[in-house]
Amino acid sequence: MSSLGHQLATSVLVVGAGGAGLRAAIEVAEAGIAVIAVAKRAADDVHHTVPTSGCSAEAPFATGPVETWERHAADTLRAGHSLADPRTAQVVARYAAQGFHDVGRYGMRLDRQGCGGAARRRFADHTYRRAAFTALEVRRALRERAEQLAVPVLPNVYVTRLLVDDGTVFGAYGFDLVDGSRYLVHADSVILATGGHTRLWRRTSSRRGENTGDTFRLAVEAGARLRDPELVQFHPFGLIRPENAAGMPVSEAARGVGGVLLNNLGERFMTRYDAERMELCSRDKIALASYTEIKEGRGTRAGGVWLDLSHLPRETVLTRLPRVHQALLDLQMLDVTHDPIEVAPTAQYSMGGVWVRPEDHSSDVDGLFVVGEAASGLHGADRLEENSLIEPLVYGRIAGRAAAEYSAGLTSQQRSPAAVRAAEADVNRLAVADGDQDVRALQRSVRHLMTERAGVVRDEAGLTAGLAELDAIEDRMAYVGVHIDIGGFQDLAYAFDLKSAVLAARATLLCALERRETRGCHNRSDHPDVDPDLDVNLVWSPATGVRREPVAPVPTHIAQLMHDVPADACLLR
C-alpha cells in the first residue's frame, strides 16, 4: 500500500507548529530562506489549559525593583537543583527581553501597569515579579506573523521518520491523517518542535495524540541521544473532572493571588511540607505533598485535594483570575468564589528531552535542531515557573537562524533512496497490520504502568517491574491490528504513537532506575536524599544505554546570586 501524493523540497523543514515551531519558522523566513512547517493538527487547533501561561523576562519589561538577566539565570539554575545547563540558562535569561520584543513587533498585546510597563505577577522561586500573562497573545502574534510571511504550515501531517544518510538529516517522511496520502519532504535541515512525553501518564495536561514521545523516537531513530528523560514535572493542580478535562491544570496564578490547599479534613496541609513558603513553594514540593496526602488517606474520594479560593474577595478572583473563574463555570458549573476546586498532580512537562548544544540547539545529527519542550538543558530537575514560554521564543529564534545558516552554507545535499524506501516500508507494514492486539488498549497499558511505576514517587522494585511490563507490551506490539476507516487514518497514527511511547517509556524507566536519589521532581522513596555523585545529566541511547555526563560549571557571579536573595525579593513572600 503506497500513495505518495506529496513530494516537496525546502531548505528548512519545521516539524511542529506550536510556539517553538512557529518562532523558528518565522526566523528562517525572515532570513530569506525557504521553509515549510508541518503539524499533526490544524493551525488554529491549539492546546489551551485553564490558565494562560506566563513567561519570564528581564529588566526592559520589568516594573518595580531593578534586576538583571543574571538574576533570572540564577533563579533558573537554583530551581534546576544542579542539573540545569548553566550555558543554556544564561542564553535564555540574557535574550528573554529580546524574545518579548520580537513578539511585541509581531503585534502582541500586553496588560500594562500604570507606568506603562507590562503587568507582572508573582510566581514561586522567582526573586522578582517577572510573569506576564501572555501565552494566548504570544500564540496569536506568532501565527499572524507566520501568515504575513506566507510560511506554509501543512496541517494533519503525521511525520513517521526523519530521513538520514550517514549521520546527516535530509528530510522527513509521513502521511496525511485524513486521506492517508504520503508526504516525502526533502530538506537541507530539520527543526524538531514536537513536544515531550507527558501523554505517557494517565492524568496529564496533554490531549490525545499530543506529547506521546514522538520527538524522542524520531530523534533517537535518526541517531540523536536523550538527556534526563526521567525528569518529568507533575503540575499539582490538575482537574479531576469532568472526564474530558481531567488533567487540565489550573493556573499557577491561583496560588499566586492567595489560593490555599486543603485536604479532606479541612487542613491546610502545606504547613507540614514547607511552613515558610506554603503554597508558594516549588511545584515539585507541592505535587509531592498532594500525592502524600492522597496516598495516606487524607485526600478526597476521587483521589484529590482541594484548591480553595473562596476566602479571597470576589472582585480579586474576577479581576485576577477571570479565565479560571469562567473555565470552572463552563466545565463543572463551579463558582470558585464560593467552592473549592478538586485537583490532583498531573503530568505536565518533560524537563528532559533530546540532547542539544547550548549554542544553537543542534543535535548529534548534522542538520537536525530541536526546540521547545522537545529539547533538554534549561530546566534540570525542576522547571522555574513560566520559563516554558520564553524558552521557545529565545531558542526558536536561535535555532531558526542556525538552521537557515546551515542550509544556506550547503553546496550539496546527500540523500539516500534506501532511507526513503525504509520509511515507506515502515508505514506500509503498519497500515495493513491485522493482528488481534488493539493499539489503544496497548497505549492504555503503557499509561497505566508509567503512572503506577514511574509517577510522582518511584522505587527500584516498581521501576524494574515497569521494565518487565514494558517488555511484555512490546512483544504484543508485533500483533497489533490497524483499522483504516471512513474516519481517516487516526488508528495508523495511534500505532506510531505507541511505538514512540514505548521507546520514551523505556528511556524514562532506565534513567529513573539509574538516578538513585531524590532531587527536584524525581522522588525515589528508597533513596530519599540527594546524592552528590549524581550531580550529572543522564544521557541515553539504545546503543549505549544510560551514561553519565557532567554538568557544565556555573560562573562564579551567577553562583553567588543563587545563594544571595536580596531584601526586596518576593521569593518567599
If you average pLDDT over residues 45-52, what whole number do you get?
48
* Residue 304 within a domain: yes
Q: What percent of the chain has pLDDT over 70?
A: 89
Q: Which three cell numbers stand for residue 363?
A: 543535535
* Residue 318 within a domain: yes
Is residue 400 within 8 A of residue 191, CB to CB? The reply is yes
Region of poorest pLDDT, from 4-8, 62-66, 81-85, 285-289 = 62-66
pLDDT score, position 53: 47
pLDDT score, position 419: 98
If you average pLDDT over residues 145-164, what whole number do you get?
97
Q: In sequence order, what are the residues at sequence separation of 6 or more whose Cβ sits closer than 8 angstroms to the Cβ of residue 349?
A: 196, 198, 232, 233, 235, 373, 379, 383, 388
* Residue 459 within a domain: yes
Last residue of a domain, one of 326, 345, 364: 345
CA 205 to chain centroid, in Å, comes to 10
pLDDT score, position 269: 96
Same domain, 404 and 453: yes
Mapped onto helix, strand or coil, the DSSP state of residue 129 is coil
Give pTM, 2 decimals: 0.92
Is residue 177 within 8 A of residue 168, CB to CB? The reply is no
Please determine, for residue 387, whether its predicted confidence score (pLDDT) is greater than 80.
yes
* Residue 560 within a domain: no
Instruction: Classify burial at 24, counting beta carbons within 10 Å of its beta carbon; exposed 0-12, middle 13-18, buried 19 or more.
Output: buried
Same domain, 333 and 357: no
Q: Which residue has the higher pLDDT, 64 or 481?
A: 481
Q: How confident is the model at residue 40 (pLDDT cuts 50, 70, 90)?
A: very high
Active site residues: 283
If you average pLDDT over residues 543-552, what whole number do you get?
98
The domain that contains 326 carries what CATH number? 3.90.700.10
Residue ranges making up the domain that contains 332: 236-345
Write out pLDDT tens, residues 216-252: 999 999 999 999 999 999 999 999 988 888 899 998 8
Q: Between the CA of residue 115 and those of 111, 404, 485, what are the distances in Å?
A: 11, 39, 58
Q: Which three cell numbers stand for residue 196?
A: 515531550
Placement of cell 519542550 in the chain: 373
Backbone angles phi, psi at 481, to 5 degrees: -115, 135
Is residue 515 within 8 A of residue 524, CB to CB? The reply is yes
CA 125 to chain centroid, in Å, comes to 19
* Residue 512 within a domain: yes
Same domain, 390 and 309: no
Last residue of a domain, one of 345, 367, 393: 345
Q: How confident is the model at residue 568 (pLDDT cuts 50, 70, 90)?
A: low
* Residue 525 within a domain: yes
* Half-sphere exposure in the Cβ direction for 396 (13 Å, CA): 33
Write out pLDDT tens, residues 394-452: 999 999 999 999 999 998 888 999 999 999 999 999 999 999 999 999 999 999 999 99
Please determine, for residue 191, whether its predicted confidence score (pLDDT) is greater than 90.
yes
Q: How far apart are the first and last CA of the chain?
A: 62
* Residue 549 within a domain: yes
What are the E-state strand segments in 16-135? 35-38
Instruction: Classify burial at 472, counting beta carbons within 10 Å of its beta carbon; exposed 0-12, middle 13-18, buried 19 or more.
Output: exposed
If you average pLDDT over residues 563-570, what whole number do you get?
64
If you average pLDDT over residues 351-360, what whole number do you get?
98
If you average pLDDT over residues 311-317, what whole number do you get?
96
* Residue 563 within a domain: no
Same domain, 169 and 249: no
Please determine, for residue 2, whether its predicted confidence score (pLDDT) is greater than 70.
no
What are the E-state strand segments in 93-211? 153-154, 157-165, 168-176, 182-192
Q: How confident is the model at residue 4 (pLDDT cuts 50, 70, 90)?
A: low
Is residue 210 within 8 A of residue 167, CB to CB? The reply is no
Q: Please tell me the distance from the alpha carbon of residue 336 to that of residue 543, in angstroms, as a whole number.
A: 51
Last residue of a domain, one of 323, 345, 367: 345
Same domain, 311 and 180: no
What total of structural domains would you count in the chain? 2
Sign of CA dihedral 119, 121, 125, 127: positive
Same domain, 499 and 435: yes
Q: Please tell me the distance from the alpha carbon of residue 112 to that of residue 120, in angstroms, as a whole number.
A: 9
The domain that contains 195 carries what CATH number? 3.50.50.60
Same domain, 176 and 259: no
Write out pLDDT tens, residues 450-465: 999 999 999 999 999 9
Same domain, 417 and 284: no
pLDDT score, position 253: 86
Is residue 274 within 8 A of residue 509, CB to CB? The reply is no
Same domain, 423 and 501: yes
Same domain, 243 and 223: no
Which residues are bridge partners to 448 per DSSP? none
Q: How confident is the model at residue 528 (pLDDT cuts 50, 70, 90)?
A: very high
Same domain, 543 and 439: yes
If you average pLDDT over residues 361-384, what whole number do you get?
96
Same domain, 450 and 538: yes
Please determine, for residue 48, whether its predicted confidence score (pLDDT) is greater than 60.
no
Please determine, for residue 118, whether its predicted confidence score (pLDDT) is greater than 70.
no
